[in-house]
Amino acid sequence: MSKGARNVLFTFDYELFLGSKSGSVIDCLIKPTDRLLELFKKYTLQNAIFFVDTSYLYRLKYIESSACRADLKLIEDQLIHIINNGHYVFPHIHPHWLDAIYIDKVNQWDLSNHSKYRFHNINEKEREVLFAESISILNKLIAKSNRKYDLNSYRAGGWSIQPFSDFKPYFIKYNMKNDFSVVKGFKNLSQAQYMDFINCPLKNIYNFDDEVNVEVSTGQFTEYTISTISRKLTNKLSSLIWEKILWRIGSRSYGDGISMVMTDQDHKNLKEFGSFEKEFLAIELLHAFKLNAYKKFISDNHYTHFISHPKMLSEHNLSTFDRLLRYLTSNFTLQTDFSHISSI
């Protein structure tokens, strides 16, 4: 009997922490990403997408510091390795890197200033620089790798892709065809994180032109929406108890930085708009007591789009992901290449 087919996209935000302490390159990026690459290799899976925080690489490139040069080299080598393993790297821009302060003593960054968190809040010159640098940095890495592909896909920092009119000129100029920023059903309208995906189309993948949440069948861009799952299915009591136990026994993520703090307004908005009723599917949220809910979600849906962050991963997350991949590869034929999935 032939196995059922499932489209499963594994996407990652390859980035440091975005709060008062960025964390180190080794712990936030290199170590957890190497573990992911091992797992994909073990199950002969390719075409995962790493959305690289190119705004950080841009800052690294122009700072006079031997520690920064060493960090940049580590990252570039790993990104080439990712591409050579059959995966993609694409740009992911967090504009408030423009205001990040480098802390020489600890070789980390302070990103407490969030006034430029949204792309909407930076001027045209800054937008142009960030896009031009992002594309040039990644294209140079693709040129050094043994796999060639078009740099044509984007995910906005903090999913703040609206209004799309801010991005459209740069999408056109830099040949961006696909967007991966829409999280189905999420809404938050704070000063930093601004998104409204409540009324996006029911389809998982659709074309658009002027707004990411309005389908235009002849639109020149394609949206690959990020999947969400009801918290009723994932946050059962057993799940919550297990999370406490994991914390008690010292199960921690690889990353050693400090996240951007959510404001009271963020919490209020997310609650009011119902965004707390669901969660996105992420390896860092996956643990033993959620495994069955994830298996069922993928069995029941032809399309699943994970969004994960290497910096947030713990060994327990990774070993549970290992179990999930074993189940998926033995029960389904997986299509993990977004470029082979055009409409669902």
Q: Does 13 bind Zn ion (CB under 5 A)?
A: yes
- Minimum CB distance to Zn ion smaller for 159 or for 297: 159
Whether residue 155 contacts residue 90, with contact meaning beta carbons closer than 8 Å, is answered with yes
- Minimum CB distance to Zn ion smaller for 135 or for 156: 156
Give the range of 9-17, 26-34, 224-232, 281-289 binding Zn ion by CB under 5 A.
9-17
- Minimum CB distance to Zn ion smaller for 15 or for 71: 15
The least distance separating Zn ion from the CB of residue 42, rounded to whole angstroms, comes to: 27
Give the range of 39-47, 81-89, 156-164, 246-254 binding Zn ion by CB under 5 A.
156-164
- When computed from its CA atoms, the radius of gyration of the chain, rounded to whole angstroms, is 19
Give the range of 21-29, 82-90, 154-162, 273-281 binding Zn ion by CB under 5 A.
154-162
Q: Does 71 bind Zn ion (CB under 5 A)?
A: no
Say how far apart CA 131 and CA 178 lie, in whole Å.
15
The least distance separating Zn ion from the CB of residue 18, rounded to whole angstroms, comes to: 7
- b/e per residue 89-123 (b: at least 16 CB within 10 A): bbbbbbbbbbbbebeeeebbbbbbebebbbbbbbe
Size of the site for Zn ion (CB under 5 A): 3
H or E element: which one contains 304? strand 303-308
Give the range of 97-105, 107-115, 151-159, 203-211 binding Zn ion by CB under 5 A.
151-159
Greatest CA span in the chain, whole angstroms? 61
The least distance separating Zn ion from the CB of residue 14, rounded to whole angstroms, comes to: 9
Say how far apart CA 326 and CA 69 lie, in whole Å.
39
Closest residue to Zn ion, judged by C-beta, is 13
- Tokens 């060639």 sit at which residue? 148
Q: Pairing relation of β-strands 205-208 and 187-189?
A: unpaired
Q: Which residues bind Zn ion (CB under 5 A)?
A: 13, 15, 157
